Amino acid sequence: MKDILIGHFKERFGRNPSFLARAPGRIEFIGNHTDYNKGSVLGASLDLCVWVAIAPRVDNQRNYFALGRGALVNTSCEVYDRLQGDASWVNYPLGVLVAMREAKLKIPEGFDYLVMSNLPMGAGLSSSAAIELSSALVFLQATNQSVSKEVLVNLGKAAENNFVGVPCGILDQGVSGFGKKDQLVYIDCAGPLFATVPLPSKTHFWIFNTHTKHALVDGLYATRHKECMDAAKTLGVNYLVEVSIEQLMQNKTKLSLNVFKRAKHIVEEIDRVNQMIAVLKDGDLRKIGQLLYLSHQSSELYFENSTPELDFIVATLRTQSEVYGARLTGGGFGGAVMALAADNYSQDLAEVVSETYRKKFGNPLEIIHAITGDGASLI
């Protein structure tokens, strides 16, 4: 991919890039919406990535180009306003520059910038975190700076929260930054503290992308975030991680029905993450899968960030013995389902799911086969 990236850069800008980086997409393995509630979460970095290349310019011009996204976007070094329309994708690298400046880091002046990806957009695999971290790496390299992984992932999170406008937690950037092949990334979001947990061998991820709407900025994500914060405030704590299921049930009448349901999902999901750690150590794939199914059921019934399409896919996957477990991945409200499957699960079996889905909803699914990959790095 490095040679392909260099070739595209040279074709677009007429010269070789000076700095290159890549960052993977991620699967939210389990821990749905637990991150901003300061709970714990498990994620996997993938072998599907975003690649970024830049070369400095001597003027104050910044030129951004994304393969497959249309025209070149030109700005000056003085522009730090959010862009709209077809140029809005530039808000991710631009947000990183703003975050670096606010963190008192040096930022590059003029440059040519190119991004390419084999990571599907809008599939719940966090292409946004991948472009943020790969951009941060090349910007830091261009200014002869190095930072810890913790600082790197916080730059990406700050860009997404404060500039793009999505109130995500640390999951997306944390997994993309700390990922390792054949490992899951465990994040205690109260710290945050990062660790890795071995994933049982001979397991594969299959992602079934509905291409239904998955637009977090539209407000559904922000609404769930607010409902969780409202629940914590009513229960007299800072975050829902401080609440046990027993305490929640004892105080159920203090909460509106919707707020109670959101809190129930979060409190029980945090417990499922802790259960998953123990089950992973035992390597019991069927128990691992059962926790994945329970997580999806909770998203469907209590957090209500699933959709009929996602529920149908999960129900269909349950009928296939080669699938250990499945659940929606990412913020929800559309997007994709993740299945954890044996190594003998095949494209033909995945196509059966897609065809069954097409007969009910009219469109086939995009099928993505992925394995774990290493976290963000310079190349």
Instruction: Give the CATH architecture of domain 203-370.
Output: 2-Layer Sandwich (3.30)
The two tokens of residue 166 are: 């999505």
Side chain identity at residue 87, one-letter code: A
CB contact set of 328 (below 8 Å; sequence gap of 6+) = 32, 124, 296, 299, 305, 306, 310, 314, 335, 336, 337, 338
Determine how many CB atoms are found less than 10 A away from the CB of residue 186: 23
Catalytic residue among 172, 230, 282, 343: 172
Domain range annotation of the chain: 2-28+44-179, 203-370
pLDDT the model gives residue 217? 43
Q: What is the 3-state secondary structure (H, E, C) of the chain?
A: CHHHHHHHHHHHHCCCCCEEEEEEEEEEEECCCCHHHCCEEEEEEEEEEEEEEEEECCCCEEEEEECCCCCCEEEECCCCCCCCHHHHHHHHHHHHHHHHHHCCCCCCCCEEEEEEECCCCCCCCCHHHHHHHHHHHHHHHHCCCCCCHHHHHHHHHHHHHHHHCCCCCCHHHHHHHHCCCCEEEEEECCCCEEEEEECCCCEEEEEEECCCCCCHHHCHHHHHHHHHHHHHHHCCCCCHHHCCHHHHHHCHHHCCHHHHHHHHHHHHHHHHHHHHHHHHHHCCHHHHHHHHHHHHHHHHHHHCCCCHHHHHHHHHHCCCCCEEEEEEECCCCCCEEEEEEECCCCHHHHHHHHHHHHHHHCCCCEEEEECECCCCEEC
- Cα angle vertex 362, ends 358, 365, to 5°? 45
User: Would you give the distance in Å from CA 13 to the centre of its chain?
Assistant: 30
Torsion angles phi and psi, residue 273, rounded to 5: -60, -45
Is 2-28+44-179 assigned to CATH 2.60.40.10?
no
d(CA 108, CA 269): 42
- What is the mean pLDDT for each group of 10 consecutive residues in the chain (379 residues)? 96 97 95 93 95 96 92 92 92 97 96 93 79 98 97 96 86 94 94 93 91 66 93 98 97 97 98 96 94 98 95 98 94 90 96 98 94 96
pLDDT the model gives residue 214? 52
pLDDT the model gives residue 123? 64
pLDDT the model gives residue 9? 98
d(CA 267, CA 33): 10
pTM (global) more than 0.75 = yes
Q: Identify whether 172 is a catalytic site residue.
A: yes
